Structure 1
Amino acid sequence: MGVFSSQKTETVVLSVGGSLVVPNGGIDIDFLKKMNVFIRSQIKDKQRRFLIVIGGGRTARHYRDAAKDVIGTITDEDLDWIGIHATRLNAHIFRTIFQDIAHPRIIENYDRKLRNWNEPIAIGSGWKPGWSTDYCSVVLARDYNASVIINLSNIDYVFDKDPSVFKDAKKITKTTWSYFEKLVPKEWKPGTNAPFDPVASQLAKRLGTMVIVANGKNFSNLNKILSGENFKGTVITNYRIDASFYDKEYYEGKKIEYKMPLTRSFLGNVFIEIVNFYRAFWIKLFINPKNVLDIGSGTGKLIKYLRRLGIEAYGIEISTYALESAEKETRPFIRKGDIGKIPYDNDSFDLVVSFDVLEHIERSKIKKAAEEAIRVSRKLVLHKIY
């Protein structure tokens, strides 16, 4: 399973950038028509519910600029209120488009939850000065138990710097809130242009909310996100190497990041077996080590095949669920342990490997993890990063 399951009704939070609704040339009718068709098909075919929060777009910017031109200096609070009223206008057009299936009241006060919300859609606008509608979307995700926010804007990815200025800017497919906070301003200012506003980022980080930043005009890509397929976009979340994250839901595929495979399916399990046999075979053929340590060994699939090929293979794994789920033939060779403090002596293994582990580690801890792998290896270290 991916982030979104077809087994029950999912509540999806969409934070729709106002620039999609009102770009430079006025209201984008084509976008609204496509959004109308897409949302209705998701409700009909997938039984989803949507909380949709709309930004102010160029309407907000035009009105703020006009006020400045007339009276000059304006307080940030007044500028924010102009933007908030622009979001309410945009929210009203959305509520009108979906009037037959949307809650009749637009969410403007996020201190109160909707009473008797039975409709498949509810629309939200701006709330108070001090943040953008991104913050409102995080509050809704918290209050309505949505684990993911899809932030729709006019960009395909978050970049490490402004791609319109720096030709060497690199797209980011997955990152942590700690790193993302370094890319955006520390404080909110009216009209701040950021993929996700700083105040909203702080709250999402504190709550552990996942945000996917994607291009709102690419509806086929949006469908891939909701269908658990590979997609274009940036995933921002709190990646933590601790046992609480790597539980039953993780290993059954419900907690997945950029790629969302169907790990519980028969074909998915066969694929995992084939991948681990393939890895073991090539390790035997090209390296042929006496012994191997698999860091983040999961349920021990690689260890199983390495041992069947005559290699003394061991593993460390942080997840209690994975340890308990390991097959009988491999369970004795897996120890509970953390990559930051590997429970083996120096120079214990010919080869130390990790597959898709380092990308889950906070950047500040990667150096220590690499040093630990080197410490227990007497010959080779192999890290494969997703």
Structure 2
Amino acid sequence: MTVTWSNQQIKEFRKTLLDWYDEERRDLPWRQDHDPYHVWISEIMLQQTQVNTVIPYYTRFMKLFPTVSDLANADEAVLLKAWEGLGYYSRAKNLKRAAQQIMADYQGVFPETPEALEDLAGIGPYTAGAIASIAFNVPVPAVDGNAFRVFSRLMEIEADIAKPQTRKIFTDIIAKVIDPDRPGDFNQAIMDLGSSYMTAKNPDPEHSPVKAFDQAYLDGKELDFPVKSKKPKPVDVPYVGLIIRSERGYLMQHRGTTGMLAGFWTFPLIKIADLDLGDDVVMATELAQHVTEYLHRETGITAELTPMGGRAITQVYTHQKWQVNLFGAEVLAQDLSHFPGEWVPQSNLAKLALPKVQIKMMNRLGMDPTK
């Protein structure tokens, strides 16, 4: 697809957009300078996360890890604790890996080209474009959901944004429209436009500063764009969560160094599929007996578990939807030599790196995961 705007229209669009941005840009902590480290951390945090949620996390993160060197040398447990609640924890782990690459391969100095930036762990085309344009003034697009939405409406681009090959269509188009003198401001203006007047739901094109260029608005088809086919629904995965307490505290499981929730601590979680119950539907009390036997067989821990009732706790991941039913027991502290975890006093739980599913389980029990 080619750009249908004339050179004069492109110039007028740039000026209109940037004049608006100069007057109305959002005052965000990572926009106080053009430091590539600040840009990078903010962009990674903003993936799948709202701006207002990110701001306090970003501020705390910068106090803990003010430089690339600090991040490269971060204790992973401290890093994950700082990330707790943001979700998508592979982002935090990739931040540390990328920081180590920058220290080892670039002597602590950020590479400036999109190609070199994409060689760093966790950095894809969008983040590379954002860092290169904002921090180094490289005229390269930063194509994210906002850019898809804004430009699909401006030009009525009908390509399905759920398909990987569509990114190149938008990248090529935006590359011809981006302001060569202020590429970083241009990309950030598109971000601000996509989060204000050209939102996914309830847009306000009538008051948009670029409404004269918005073909979908002019044609009354604003909500028809972008075109996006539906993703498959996450697969339901039922679990039981074990709330086992002794005089030494709660039984907590370390999730290991690989796989989902690696590096985090949770109450023991057992996938119901691992109980080999077949297709039979079992009552909660019967399930409790199966879990009790499984726990003793696999770990040596003896606990007479009973259902705690209430609706299942739901946690949605990219491809899975966990449904966790809670079972509890009061026991005397036992040997944990065959269990990947330890007894933790309630007062020490907040010191551990806790994923969202654990926080939800604690909330269900009336426990404050921050204390």
- Range of TM-score over shorter length: under 0.3
Higher relative contact order (CA 8 A, sep 6+): 2
Higher relative helix content = 2
Q: TM-score w.r.t. structure 2 length?
A: 0.21
